[in-house]
Structure 1
C-alpha cells in the first residue's frame, strides 16, 4: 500500500464515520441538545458537510450536553477574555514586523559586479 492509498483510505474511514455520526446526530441528537432546533428539519442538510469533518468534536459536545457537564452560560467566556489582548497584540505585531522588515534592508558593497546567471536568449526569427 502506497502512502497515497493509505491517506485515501484514512479519509474514507474518517468520512464513513462522519456520515454515521451525521445521520444519528442530525436525526436524534439535534433535538436533544437544542430546543430551538426541534421540528426544524430544513437546515439540517446544510450541517452534513461540517459534521463529516468535525465529527469527534460533535460527539464530544453531545456527550457533554447529555452528561450535564456543559456550562452553557460560560461557554464563550475564555475567547471573550482573550479578545482585548489579541486586539492589541495583532496591530502591534504587524507594525513591529513592518518596522523590522524596513530596517533590515540589505545593502551591497559597491565593488561587486553583477554576474549573469544564464546565457542570453536569442530571439527566434
Structure 2
C-alpha cells in the first residue's frame, strides 16, 4: 500500500479577494520524497494554472538538485521558515536560489545572530487566526 503525502492546501488572495496563489505545506518528516511525488508530473501546476504555488518548507535541505528540477522558478515561490537561517549555509543557498530565478520568502522573524540572505521578503499572517 502506497501512502500519499499529507499536504495542507490554502488559497492565497490579494487585497481584492482574488486568488493569486496556492499555498502548499507538506506535513512530512522527510519532505523530499513528497515533493518529488507532488511535483513529479505537470498535473498539479497545470490544474492550478494560472495560480502560482507557494511552497512552505521548514528548511532548505529538501531543495536538492533533483527536486529543484521539478520546481519551475516562474511558478513556485519558496517560503522558508526563518528559523532555518540558523543552519550553516542556508542564507547562501537562499541567495543562490534567488539568483536562479526563484522567489524566496522568509516565514517569520529570522534568528538574531543568523546570517541574512541578500534578497528576501518576510511574511506576516494578518488573518487573525495565528
* Same fold per superposition (TM over 0.5): no
Of the two, which has the highest radius of gyration? 1
**TM (normalized to structure 2)?**
0.18
Q: Which one scores higher on RCO, CA 8 angstroms, separation ≥ 6?
A: 1
**TM (normalized to structure 1)?**
0.18
- Greater share of residues in helix: 1
- Greater share of residues in strand: 2
